[in-house]
A and B are shown apart, each in its own frame.
Chain A
């Protein structure tokens, strides 16, 4: 059983640029959630995807968007990067929407300069 994997592990971008982060969900999991964790904070829910459709969204602007593919892998896209977008981005998969336990990847550390 493969775990949740995220790529890249580290990334440096310039303010105003766009970034795409990728996540492969754990085998058999059809639900993927994305979280942003700023330094010294707990993870904040960005959005969740279930069977290729957005299934809930947190308090993030529209420049944060996502995709889920037929194999349940997912992308997080952020446009017009701002300095405050610098954070650890975590992907979590779970076996079903409405399920309680989520399994996390190691995260992508994004730095915006």
Chain B
């Protein structure tokens, strides 16, 4: 049962254009959402996050939008750069007692072409 779904395994975008990566979730208890970027042979690195009390969070070229009613979030990268080429993971968490773990999607591989 995949609670966090990234339905597009890959995405190809031209340099300078917008990249939109999508993520859907099923568990309404999730209250915090994160995007991580992963290069081959490296661990995931934190990119941007959003709390469920917000619908938008922006950090430079990266913006995350949250639609709670649709249980959907998206990551926008504008403008896309070749160095953005990586696998992007959406993760969600819910507090359970004194524990908070991340539930991950399968990832979307982004290729930004020069």
Contacts and interface: CB of A to CB of B under 8 A. Distances in A.
Report if A and B associate in a common complex.
yes
Interface of A: 4, 6, 33, 35, 40-45, 48, 50, 55-56, 58, 90, 92, 97-107
Contact of B106 (A42, A45, A100, A103): A42
Contacts, number: 67
- Using C-beta atoms within 8 Å of the partner chain, give the interface range for chain B: 20 to 34
Contacts of A103: 46
Contact of A97 (B46, B49, B98): B98
5 contacts: A6-B43, A41-B106, A42-B104, A97-B98, A104-B43
Given A4-B43, A105-B43, A98 B102 contact: no
Majority SS at the chain B contact face = strand
A56 B96 contact: yes
B49 to A, nearest CB: 7
B44 A43 contact: yes
A55 B46 contact: no
Nearest to A109: B41
B54 to A, nearest CB: 13
B96 A45 contact: no
Given A48-B101, A55-B98, A104-B45, 19 more contacts: A35-B102, A35-B104, A42-B6, A42-B91, A42-B107, A43-B104, A48-B99, A50-B98, A56-B101, A90-B44, A92-B43, A97-B98, A97-B100, A100-B34, A101-B49, A104-B36, A104-B43, A106-B42, A106-B43
A20 to B, nearest CB: 19
A33 B34 CA distance: 16
Contacts of B63: none
Contacts of B91: 42
A98 B43 contact: no
Contacts of A56: 96, 99, 101
B32 interface: yes
A70 B108 CA distance: 38
B40 to A, nearest CB: 10
Given A43-B89, A105-B43, A98 B101 contact: no
Contacts of B86: none
